[in-house]
Structure 1
Amino acid sequence: MKILITGGAGFLGTQLARALLRLGHFRGQPIERLTLADRVAPAHPEVVADARVAADVGDLLQRMPALLAGAQDVVFHLASAVSAECEADFDLGLRSNLDATRALLDGLRQQAMRSGQLPVLFFSSSVAVFGSDPGIPLPAVIRDDTFPTPQSSYGAQKFICEQLIAEYTRKDFLDGRVARLMTVSVRPGRPNGAASSFLSGIIREPLAGLPAVCPVDLDTAVALASPANTVAGILAVAQADREALGGRTAINLPALTVTVRQMLQALEAVAGKETAALVTLSPDPAIARIVGGWPAHFDSPRAAALGLKPDASYRAVIEQYIADNKTTG
């Protein structure tokens, strides 16, 4: 089995690569090659040292023909310009999110025509596809049949990609699966350009003894998932048979709903008052508008049918982050 991960050197791509390499098999076949495509080379020692791993470094849109010149059995399409970036630079979002995805879809379609075998494509979408529209107000709880009405460029681009993948699947050009990921917290490393970046930063930085800024009201509710739970959801959706998926439309992965205040209370319970005091409140209306427009409460029976559950508590998420950081750091 040959697998491609776009965005493979990023945090989530690296976590997914490690999980796949440890499994050794995927969809009943041994993993022969795992190609990680990104703007930078993978750096995690466990990934770099594995002989099955190949790195493809460069601009994804430009590299697409070479990436698909050899048949890929499974593609995990994680690469994306993130929320705040897309809002600030509309053309960047169109190129990185729409153009690259369209090129990938057409490349896989051509591959299927040559081989007669449908490649599997997993696409990481986002809860940013949901928003409140005057014609279709956002419900208190997002269900599997809630209609997306994105209110950001990033959310709109993700929803367009969802529909394209559903159409290519309907036409039997590929076997597409889409999961809407919750905000992943706690992410290690440096902040990125996502509007949700602070939802890791207000935990990660204080635990490292560094100050952090919270740009939203403390009572802002958010839907989160730990890195481990997110990867488990990706793998489950990518491996499920079509009947178990319950359709071509995107699946909402399980969400742990907490307020920012509850996150900081969990931080204090785990690491003490002095650590929690390193977080200061400094409102950013632009970030607050984007994050405040995202839904926080989900009812996801399709994900539950695949055996997926939310994280038990945010305290458990923090404790897992600390344990993982000690192991890898």
Structure 2
Amino acid sequence: MRVVITGASGFLGALLAGSLLRARVLAGVPITRLVLADRVPWPGSQGGTDPLVEVVHGDLTDRVDEVFAAPVDVLFHLAAAVSAECEAERGTGAGRLDSPLPVNLPALTVSIAEVLATLRQIAGDAVADLVTIARDPVVEAMVGSWPADFDNRRAAALGLRPDPGFETVVQDYLSGPGVEPPGQSAPI
């Protein structure tokens, strides 16, 4: 079975690749080729020397013919242009509407205090009091790379609008399938 993982260097892609390399089977079928495709080099050192692995490094839009040159039995498409990357490329041509990259959707900027206030409002004090605030340099670096302001003109031109507030985002999540309302637990 030939398995392709796009976004193989990302958090989920690297975990999935490592798991498949250890198992060497998927759904009981032996993996004959594991193609790891990403813009950045794959972090798994064992992948470079494992004969099962083919690493494809580069922009997927430039390497798509190589990735799909042979038949693919299973595709895990985990590649994404993340917020900070999209914002950094703004104005370089990558963000035009005729680009193969997606349009950045309208977004909200909320503080941790606003998130916790919404949690307290929706789930109650007992749930909100479970949150512990602790500094984490890795998280701070990641969040610090995100833009604080968004230019949503292209998305607005397509008729896309941001959520009115963070409470709406949480309520939409809670109304989704498999999510139990606050204070209830799923049956065992």
CA contact (8 A) 2:38 2:59 kept: yes
> What are the equivalent positions in structure 2 for 1:220-231 lying under 5 Å apart?
220-221=115-116
- Work out the CA distance in 2 between the residues paired with 1:219 and 1:76: 35
Q: What SS is found at the alignment partner of 1:295?
A: helix
**Structure 1 residues 84 and 40, CA, compared in 2 at 3 Å: closer, same or farther?**
closer
The equivalent of 1:59 in structure 2 is: 59
- Work out the CA distance in 2 between the residues paired with 1:37 and 1:296: 33
Give ranges in structure 2 of 5+ residues lacking alignment.
117-126, 151-161, 181-188
**Structure 1 residues 80 and 92, CA, compared in 2 at 3 Å: closer, same or farther?**
farther
Q: Over aligned residue pairs, what C-alpha RMSD do you find?
A: 4.4
Q: What SS is found at the alignment partner of 2:4?
A: strand
Distance apart, 1:92 and its partner CA: 2.6
- Work out the CA distance in 1 between the residues paired with 2:149 and 2:86: 16
The equivalent of 1:92 in structure 2 is: 94
> What are the equivalent positions in structure 2 for 1:199-278 lying under 5 Å apart?
216-221=111-116, 262-264=131-133, 267=134, 276=135
Deviations 1:283-308 (A, max 9, x none): 99x5388896582352443589xxxx
The aligned length equals 146
Q: What SS is found at the alignment partner of 2:80?
A: coil
Distance apart, 1:72 and its partner CA: 0.9
Deviations 1:186-208 (A, max 9, x none): xxxxxxxxx99xxxxxxxxxxxx
CA contact (8 A) 1:14 1:44 kept: yes
- Work out the CA distance in 1 between the residues paired with 2:136 and 2:101: 42
Residue identity matched to 1:219: E
**Structure 1 residues 5 and 303, CA, compared in 2 at 3 Å: closer, same or farther?**
farther
**Structure 1 residues 72 and 93, CA, compared in 2 at 3 Å: closer, same or farther?**
farther
Distance apart, 1:218 and its partner CA: 2.2
The equivalent of 1:154 in structure 2 is: 104
- Work out the CA distance in 2 between the residues paired with 1:277 and 1:66: 39
CA contact (8 A) 2:81 2:101 kept: no
Distance apart, 1:36 and its partner CA: 0.8
- Work out the CA distance in 2 between the residues paired with 1:218 and 1:8: 34
Deviations 1:262-321 (A, max 9, x none): 251xx4xxxxxxxx49899xx99x5388896582352443589xxxxxxxxxxxxxxxxx
> What are the equivalent positions in structure 2 for 1:281-320 lying under 5 Å apart?
287=148, 293=166, 295-297=169-171, 298-299=173-174, 300-301=176-177
Residue identity matched to 2:104: Y
Residue identity matched to 2:16: L
Question: Is residue 77 from structure 1 mapped to residue 81 from structure 2 by the alignment?
Answer: no
Q: What SS is found at the alignment partner of 1:3?
A: strand
- Work out the CA distance in 2 between the residues paired with 1:277 and 1:36: 30
Give ranges in structure 1 of 5+ residues lacking alignment.
102-152, 157-194, 197-214, 222-257, 268-275, 305-329
Structure 1 ranges of 4+ moved more than 6 A: 277-280, 288-292
CA contact (8 A) 2:95 2:101 kept: no
- Work out the CA distance in 2 between the residues paired with 1:22 and 1:303: 32
- Work out the CA distance in 1 between the residues paired with 2:30 and 2:179: 26
Q: Which has the higher contact order (CA 8 A, sep 6+)?
A: 2
CA contact (8 A) 2:42 2:55 kept: yes
CA contact (8 A) 2:2 2:73 kept: yes
**Structure 1 residues 76 and 15, CA, compared in 2 at 3 Å: closer, same or farther?**
same
More strand by share: 1
Residue identity matched to 1:301: P
Deviations 1:135-155 (A, max 9, x none): xxxxxxxxxxxxxxxxxx434
